[in-house]
Amino acid sequence: MLYNLLYPLADKYSVFNLFKYLTFRTGGAVITALIFAFVFGPVIIRKLRNKQKNGQPIRKDGPETHLLNKKGTPTMGGLMILLGLSISTLLWADLTNGYVWVVLFTTISYGAIGFIDDYIKVTKQSSDGISSKLKLFLQFVVAAASILWITSMMPAETATSLAIPFFKNAMIDLGWFYVVFAMFVVVGSSNAVNLTDGLDGLAIVPIMIAAAVFLLIAYLTGHAVFSDYLQIHHTSGAGELAVFCGALVGASLGFLWFNAPPAMVFMGDTGSLAMGAALGTVSVITKHELVLAIVGGLFVLETISVIVQVASFKLTGKRVFRMAPLHHHFEQKGWAEPTIVIRFWIIALILAIAGLATLKLR
């Protein structure tokens, strides 16, 4: 909004020229979202604690430690992230850019689905929220609207093309199948983050790392010269998503302050579904969906562990892991929670560097 209001006055007040620069506005978005979390985080947590007498219902069949140490922790902390993220984006982004609106629409819609799930869990004091079928149906409906909106804003010749990393300007036109594929990217990344969010700080740092990588990817793919130099697909207008990703980095860093062990608050499905959908949507707009699978590889690993565990248990009655998702397996092996979390952060960082390498390795 500031860009739309103040940049036109740059002739009169040259200082407003700053708003022309994406880098300046992205920096402003990071700082605004971070300050929002520090200023309003405690208030939001206090309100959540007051509203949720018993906090997040802890699963009975979970690791013993969760039942002992985590009882009473409030959930829905994702509201803090979503508020900071949305306000900061609306303040610093160019509001005439359709990609900004579609990523906000998708993120907030998934946050609303998660909020309803969390609300039912907390009010019923049960870890069963919305039925998984209804949850998935709602996610696919939002994803369909989001992908159709995105492809309607792209040039017809590349709207349904999939970019292949490691190859120069390699695009495969998938036609209508691309819409289905992109829907699965959004729904899949949303649920992968949801599964990962099972230990203090475990999900929010990889989310922040992925957001930082996609901040750079959005900036480069939106830049005609840089995208041409790097031989990556150019999506005109995608650069504005750097502001959104910057706000996501700032909001995540702020939330980490309160989610660091021992967590004062959980983000809830309100946060995890929204954050995953946000990353999925940005990866579709920048046509770096396959790179998200690398950068968000920790989320992929956690999801695969669940798929393998459930398939093995259903087919053979035997478990591959002591418990799924993967972080619970290491808990059952006796690893301390912070040990698992920090080691998973290291894996996320290594995967982020690998994802960034795809920009150059062509």
Q: Binding residues for ligand 57M, per CB under 6 A?
A: 56, 58-59, 61-62, 66, 70, 75, 194-195, 197-200, 259, 263, 266-269, 272, 306, 309-310, 319, 323-325, 328
| Closest separation in Å from C-beta 300 to ligand 57M | 15
As a whole number of angstroms, the distance between CA 70 and CA 122 comes to 14
The minimum distance between CB 193 and ligand 57M, in angstroms, equals: 8
Instruction: Quote the least distance from Cβ 45 to ligand 57M, whole Å.
Output: 13
The span from the CA of 92 to the CA of 1, in Å, is 6
Q: How far is the CB of 198 from ligand 57M (least distance, A)?
A: 4
83 vs 195, which CB is nearer to ligand 57M? 195
CB of 246 to ligand 57M, least distance (A): 23
Task: Tell me how far CA of residue 158 lies from CA of 110, 133, 173, 293, 318, in angstroms.
Answer: 27, 33, 7, 21, 46
User: To which residue do tokens 């069949």 refer?
Assistant: 61
Count of H helices and E strands in the chain?
A: 15, 2
> Toward ligand 57M, which CB reaches closer, 196 or 286?
196
CB of 195 to ligand 57M, least distance (A): 5
Nearer to ligand 57M, 32 or 56 (CB): 56
Angle at 243 (CA atoms; ends 23, 151), nearest 5 degrees:
125
Question: At which residue do the structure tokens 């209001």 appear?
Answer: 5
Which residue lies nearer to ligand 57M by CB, 2 or 58?
Answer: 58
Q: Is 169 left (phi over 0), alpha (psi -120 to 50) or beta?
A: left
Q: Which is nearer to ligand 57M, 32 or 75 (CB)?
A: 75
**106 contacts: CB under 8 Å, gap ≥ 6:** 142, 143, 146, 186, 277, 278, 281
Least Cα distance to 301 among 261, 346, 359 occurs for 346
Quote the least distance from Cβ 306 to ligand 57M, whole Å: 4
Residue (138 or 199) nearer to ligand 57M, CB: 199
Please state, as a whole number, how many other Cβ atoms lie within 10 Å of the Cβ of residue 110.
34
Residue nearest to ligand 57M (CB): 62
CB nearer to ligand 57M: give 234 or 327: 327
Distance of closest approach, residue 71 Cβ to ligand 57M, in angstroms: 9
Q: What are phi and psi of 180, to 5 degrees?
A: -65, -45
Report the Cα–Cα distance between both ends of the chain, in Å, rounded.
Answer: 37
- Residue closer to ligand 57M by CB (options 77, 239) is 77
d(CA 337, CA 64): 12
CB of 154 to ligand 57M, least distance (A): 32
Select 110 or 178, whichever has its Cβ closest to ligand 57M: 110
- Among 28, 22, 2, CA closest to 13: 2
Q: How far apart are CA 344 and CA 323, in angstroms?
A: 16
